């Protein structure tokens, strides 16, 4: 006699969320934990750098700033004795009294987008030291090191799969978790227990209370870090870039071509956290005096921020560029291309020229890096990262506490939620899974695999029950 399938269950979606939240958290938890802990350190790295590299970053002289020509010449003399093949790639004038000017040189053996910075006291042109620096944010060795850990574990492109997995799944696990939290709202006797741990209970229930309450507080931070982190990833990041290009959401760049060809200069939105364009290589005809002249032209053309970088032509027939690099709020992103033969501005880009989504992307990236709102930004990121790490630990503790007597591992939520779903529910889940597979290939493949295994286990369980 044939056995009919059980009718669809009203609780199938909750059970699916629970199964997804548990399974994904179990296997992706280590990736998220490493990303969260390294991200917590990266969040406060700018503040740490101020202490670790105080010698290079501070200028003791109180005299008025010398012309950039004198500062660049002092840096060139310093480098000529140590790295005679280096050429000036960029100059960043001291943004405020008591800080140093960075004269940055290309050097063999450094990372892409990394240069050797010579730190010069603008008051007396004394060299305070030299360090490798990275990207638009000017990351010094400590922040570059922790950034590499956070991004790839020093494993190159293979290691980037770890951070892409963590960033992608963090958002999905967080959404599944808040869905489960929302279902608890109707059943909770004390609404306070939804956002604060219940220390009246013990064991598994107390750990669960801490896990759920922490998740409610860090949800927005987790979703934000997931979304912005994905833009740095390999496969998903390429998809995001392609989508932005198709919708004209990319940041505008100045045109540096002087001979009728097309060329542009931009540091890119990620050029402080392992991304962005390579540095200018400088020119053999560049003179220290030109830095003052080019900066004067840029100031007359709308470049007002104290934080700027001045870059010589990358190749013959291209212009100098002066770009504002103020990452804190309010940001300053104006840029000017200057023809060195006439000392006139030939191309300009202002923050107002950025499309709305390019502005949103830039602000999001700066916030993710802890730069947009300074120390407050760093503290919030630190707390969010530590909260995410705590949730991972709470999750594993809960799994251990739920293990049956004598068992090595805890129990997993029951399988079969998708098999008990109505046809439209199954169709919706499949559509979402396929969409994720296309946008986020790493997480999409694993999600489709999870749904398939879940359905197969449920079917196998029903067959055994009939026998």
Q: What is the mean pLDDT of residues 417-427?
A: 87
At residue 461, the pLDDT reads: 60
At residue 243, the pLDDT reads: 87
At residue 265, the pLDDT reads: 61
Looking at per-residue pLDDT, the higher value among 217 and 464 belongs to: 217
Q: Please report whether residue 395 resides in a domain.
A: yes
pLDDT in tens, 59-84: 999 999 999 999 999 999 999 999 88
pLDDT band, residue 1 (cuts 50/70/90): very low
Q: Please report whether residue 90 resides in a domain.
A: no
| Length of the chain (residues) | 467
Is residue 128 a contact partner of residue 140, using CB atoms and an 8 Å limit? Answer: no
pLDDT in tens, 157-167: 889 989 999 99
Q: Please report whether residue 30 resides in a domain.
A: yes
Largest CA distance in the chain: 98
Q: What is the mean pLDDT of residues 162-187?
A: 90
At residue 276, the pLDDT reads: 45
Residues 384 and 441 in one domain: yes
Q: Please report whether residue 357 resides in a domain.
A: yes
Q: Please report whether residue 271 resides in a domain.
A: yes
Residues 347 and 420 in one domain: no
Q: What are phi and psi of 89, to 5 degrees?
A: -105, -25
Q: What is the mean pLDDT of residues 28-50?
A: 95
Structural domains of the chain, count:
2
Residues 382 and 461 in one domain: yes
Q: Please report whether residue 413 resides in a domain.
A: yes
The Cα 401–Cα 294 span in angstroms is: 66
Beta carbons within 10 angstroms of residue 358's beta carbon: 19
Q: Please report whether residue 212 resides in a domain.
A: yes
Residues 182 and 33 in one domain: yes
The Cα 82–Cα 85 span in angstroms is: 9
Residues 190 and 212 in one domain: yes
Residues 264 and 223 in one domain: no
Q: What is the mean pLDDT of residues 260-289?
A: 59
Q: pTM of this prediction?
A: 0.87
List, in order, residues 6 or more apart from 381 with CB less than 8 Å away. 39, 40, 43, 221, 225, 367, 368, 370
Looking at per-residue pLDDT, the higher value among 268 and 15 belongs to: 15
| Closest to 453 measured CA to CA, from 7, 10, 27 | 27
93: pLDDT strictly greater than 60: yes
At residue 112, the pLDDT reads: 85
The tokens for 151 are 């991004």
Residues 363 and 262 in one domain: yes
Looking at per-residue pLDDT, the higher value among 320 and 267 belongs to: 320
Kindly report which listed range (317-331, 332-346, 371-385, 449-463) carries the lowest average pLDDT score: 449-463
Q: What is the mean pLDDT of residues 333-360?
A: 95
| Closest to 160 measured CA to CA, from 169, 170, 149, 171 | 149
At residue 296, the pLDDT reads: 97
Residues 259 and 326 in one domain: yes
Mean per-residue pLDDT over the chain, rounded: 88
Which residue is listed with tokens 């989508």? 243
pLDDT band, residue 182 (cuts 50/70/90): confident
Q: How far is CA 415 from CA 19, 236, 395, 427, 455, in A?
A: 7, 29, 19, 18, 8
Residues 223 and 262 in one domain: no
Instruction: Give the end of a domain, one of 316, 334, 368.
Output: 368
At residue 198, the pLDDT reads: 87
To 5 degrees, how large is the angle CA 442–CA 27–CA 365?
A: 50
120: pLDDT strictly greater than 80: yes
Residues 301 and 381 in one domain: no
Q: What is the mean pLDDT of residues 399-424?
A: 79
Kindly report which listed range (61-70, 283-292, 383-392) carries the lowest average pLDDT score: 283-292
Q: What is the mean pLDDT of residues 344-356?
A: 96
At residue 275, the pLDDT reads: 47
Residues 294 and 442 in one domain: no
Q: Which domain holds residue 262?
A: 251-368
283: pLDDT strictly greater than 70: no
Instruction: Give the end of a domain, one of 316, 338, 368.
Output: 368
At residue 361, the pLDDT reads: 93
Q: What percent of the chain has pLDDT over 90?
A: 61
Instruction: Give the end of a domain, one of 348, 368, 388.
Output: 368
At residue 3, the pLDDT reads: 38
Residues 229 and 273 in one domain: no
Q: How far is CA 321 from CA 112, 287, 335, 390, in A?
A: 20, 15, 7, 45
Q: Please report whether residue 345 resides in a domain.
A: yes
């Amino acid at each position: 006699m044939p056995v009919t399938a059980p009718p669809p269950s009203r609780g199938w979606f909750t059970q699916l969320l629970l199964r997804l939240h548990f399974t994904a958290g179990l296997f992706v938890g280590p990736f998220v934990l490493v990303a969260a802990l390294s991200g917590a350190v990266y969040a406060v790295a700018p503040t740490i750098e101020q202490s670790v590299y105080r010698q290079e970053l501070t200028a003791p002289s109180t005299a008025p700033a010398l012309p950039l020509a004198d500062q660049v010449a002092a840096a060139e003399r310093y480098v000529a004795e140590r790295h005679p093949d280096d050429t000036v790639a960029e100059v960043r004038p001291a943004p405020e009294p008591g800080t140093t000017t960075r004269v940055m040189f290309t050097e063999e053996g450094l990372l892409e987008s990394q240069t050797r910075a010579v730190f010069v006291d603008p008051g007396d042109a004394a060299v305070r030291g030299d360090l490798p620096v990275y990207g638009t944010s000017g990351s010094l060795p400590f922040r570059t090191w922790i950034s590499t850990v956070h991004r790839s574990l020093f494993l190159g492109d293979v290691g980037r799969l770890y951070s892409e997995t963590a960033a992608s799944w963090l958002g999905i696990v967080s959404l599944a978790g808040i869905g489960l939290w929302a279902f608890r709202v109707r059943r909770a006797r004390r609404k306070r227990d939804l956002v604060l741990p219940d220390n009246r209970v013990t064991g598994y229930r107390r750990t669960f209370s801490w896990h759920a309450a922490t998740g409610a507080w860090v949800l927005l931070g987790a979703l934000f870090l997931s979304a912005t982190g994905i833009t740095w990833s390999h496969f998903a990041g390429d998809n995001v870039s392609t989508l932005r290009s198709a919708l004209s959401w990319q940041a505008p760049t100045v045109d540096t071509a002087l001979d009728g060809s097309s060329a542009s200069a931009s540091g890119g939105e990620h050029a402080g956290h392992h991304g962005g364009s390579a540095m200018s290589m400088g020119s053999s005809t560049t003179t220290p005096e030109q830095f003052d002249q080019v900066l004067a032209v840029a100031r007359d053309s709308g470049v007002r921020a104290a934080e700027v970088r001045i870059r010589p032509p990358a190749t013959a027939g291209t212009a100098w560029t002066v770009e504002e690099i103020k990452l804190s709020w309010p940001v300053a992103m104006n840029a000017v291309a200057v023809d060195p033969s006439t000392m006139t501005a030939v191309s300009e880009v202002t923050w107002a020229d950025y499309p709305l989504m390019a502005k949103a992307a830039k602000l999001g990236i700066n916030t993710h890096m802890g730069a947009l709102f300074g120390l407050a930004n760093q503290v919030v990121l630190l707390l969010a990262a530590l909260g995410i790490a705590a949730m991972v630990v709470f999750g594993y503790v809960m799994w251990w506490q739920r293990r049956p007597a004598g068992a090595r591992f805890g129990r997993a939520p029951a399988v079969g939620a998708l098999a008990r779903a109505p046809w439209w529910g199954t169709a919706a889940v499949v559509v979402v899974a396929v969409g994720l597979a296309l946008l986020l290939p790493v997480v999409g493949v694993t999600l489709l695999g999870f749904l398939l295994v879940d359905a197969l286990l449920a079917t196998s369980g029903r067959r055994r029950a009939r026998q």
